[in-house]
Structure 1
Amino acid sequence: MELVWHLTFLYLLVRPTNLQLLINVKNQGGDVMQENITANVSEDTIILEFLRLDGVFISQLVDFTNEVEAMKVIIPAEEELGQSGHQTLCFLTHGAQADFIAPDAMAKLRQKNPGTVRVAEEDKGWRQTTLTAWAGRVTRLLSPAAARHCRAANDHVYLRTADLARWPPRPGMEQSYSSAVTAFPERALPAEGEGQLAISTCANTTDDTDCICHLEVCVNWYPCGLKYCKGKPQGGLSYRCGIKTCRRCYRYHFYVQRRASCAGLS
């Protein structure tokens, strides 16, 4: 069934209200999951959430004002490995990489057929990110919304130090955020001009020592652009008439001090 959406543009004296959408999405394996998308116009943020079939909960926040994207991953314990509780991780990247439509445009969406199972129109492929530092207190300096989003991750919030130069300093800050983060050990960082590390991946070691962990997340459906239709011949002007939808996968590489911390990942 064709994906049909309406963008309702009412000329009101107030900004558009916030929006929450529940979307039935088919992944590449043919399984159907439900995504929850919330647009907060007053905070200029979007949050997309879903529960994977393996029990892993994904929550992706995009803070448009502060140009911060935060991918939160909650991994349930593996009882057969003697684990208890759950593990929460959060990955911060510069928001320019995100290609969601803006919250005010998202808040105007109306889903015509809520029960329809959606499939993205375009596959954006994989985005690989090698994290190089623990974010520490810089998270709340970069984005209050991301700080709330990642609070449960505690000291498991990661970022790329190369991204720090892309965020302008906030009032009262130094010229960079570098002093507010903790870099990974040098052996866990690729040497300049080289892709090899002096440390093994967690998947290739059996010792409970430090290693490089890998985590993959696929967002199978999200609004990534607006569509425009041509007006009547008399006017000839184009107008917003729908959305373009995309799929994107993320692969995160990050340092852990013990291989056991990578359990359930790879």
Structure 2
Amino acid sequence: MFAGCICAASARILTRLCALVLVVAVGLGSELRVRVRLADGLVTEEVLEADSERDSIYLEFKQGDGTLITFVADFKQDVKIFRALILGELERGQNQYQALCFISRLNRNEIIPSESMARLRQKNPQAIRLAEERRGLEQLTMSAAVNLTRAWQLSSHIHNMCSEAREAIYTREADVKHWLDKGVDGSIFEVLPQTTEVPSFQACHSTKDLWQPCLCTYSLRLEWYPCLLKYCRSRDTTGKGSTYKCGIKSCSKGYHFTYYVPQKQLCLWDEET
């Protein structure tokens, strides 16, 4: 369990019942390591870090197949970034690993603020965490590519996060329109050769020729992350009530990305079984 220092006896009881609580003490590290169970039953360690100055949260873990998943929430720019470093199939002519980046808008109440994240600490680091809420799968059609050299206009995190995925950085049409309305330079984006309603290419899993263009899909799940703050009530000696932050609610959420690739060789995981 995660615990903090709260004076009132009733508050201490409530605190012990929470899986995570906010620590009000100053000077604690912003890194949190949490053990979680993946969908395939394997246990992995998530690393969560908060940067209050840059107003961002970083989450990273390794999947059972060796894929490294990284997620960044940039609250300053309201942008979220997913990166997957996928081990390549060398015997099939791939590189040692393949990098993908998916960028979209960060909505309110998706994850707790960075300042709150920075105050979390863990009392029992060996416990395996299970999310309190399993949120639905989000389907995202990534219809535009993002130019890495100009992507700083969207978020200062993109260059470091997506440098390995230079030719595989994707976003949605709706997000492109939003950013253009905010004055972002349109040269950042390149519309991919596909249509959303009626795809002009086959799905990669049904394409036999490794060198044919197709629509690739990639899925990932954040198995555990702090999605909402919890508030508790207390009363002082005069009986006056007040509320304070006393914990978090944890969530799990899946994402399913669909995007164009110029050849099936870049999407070998998406095959019929």
Q: TM-score, normalised by structure 2?
A: 0.86
* Aligned residue number for residue 231 of structure 2: 228
SS at match of 1:203: helix
Q: CA RMSD in A?
A: 2.1
Maintained 8 Å contact 2:22/2:247? yes
Letter of the 1:156 partner, please give it. Answer: A
Letter of the 1:261 partner, please give it. Answer: L
Maintained 8 Å contact 2:137/2:253? yes
Letter of the 1:189 partner, please give it. Answer: T
Q: Can you give the 5+ residue segments of structure 2 that lack an aligned partner in the other structure?
A: 2-16
- Answering whether residue 154 of structure 2 is matched by residue 152 of structure 1, we say no
Measure the CA separation in 2 of the matches of 1:256 and 1:49: 25
Alpha-carbon spacing, 1:37–1:75, altered in 2? closer, same or farther (3 Å) = same
Measure the CA separation in 2 of the matches of 1:110 and 1:235: 29
Residue of 181, 198, 203 corresponding to 2:189 = 181
Measure the CA separation in 2 of the matches of 1:176 and 1:62: 19
Measure the CA separation in 2 of the matches of 1:235 and 1:32: 45
Letter of the 2:201 partner, please give it. Answer: I
* Aligned residue number for residue 85 of structure 2: 74
* Aligned residue number for residue 202 of structure 1: 204
Maintained 8 Å contact 2:176/2:189? no
Measure the CA separation in 2 of the matches of 1:92 and 1:100: 16
Deviation sequence 1:26-76 (CA, Å, 0-9, x none): 223432111000111111111100000011110001100011111000001
* Aligned residue number for residue 37 of structure 1: 48
Maintained 8 Å contact 1:44/1:64? yes
* Aligned residue number for residue 102 of structure 2: 91
Measure the CA separation in 2 of the matches of 1:84 and 1:212: 20
- Answering whether residue 267 of structure 2 is matched by residue 262 of structure 1, we say yes
Q: How many residues align?
A: 252
Cα offset for 1:116?
0.8
Q: Can you give the 5+ residue segments of structure 1 that lack an aligned partner in the other structure?
A: none
Maintained 8 Å contact 1:68/1:146? no
Cα offset for 1:3?
5.1
* Aligned residue number for residue 120 of structure 1: 131
Letter of the 2:50 partner, please give it. Answer: A
SS at match of 2:61: strand
SS at match of 1:151: helix
SS at match of 1:229: strand
Measure the CA separation in 1 of the matches of 2:164 and 2:240: 53
Letter of the 2:202 partner, please give it. Answer: S
Query: Which stretch shows the higher mean deviation, 118-127 or 224-233?
Result: 224-233
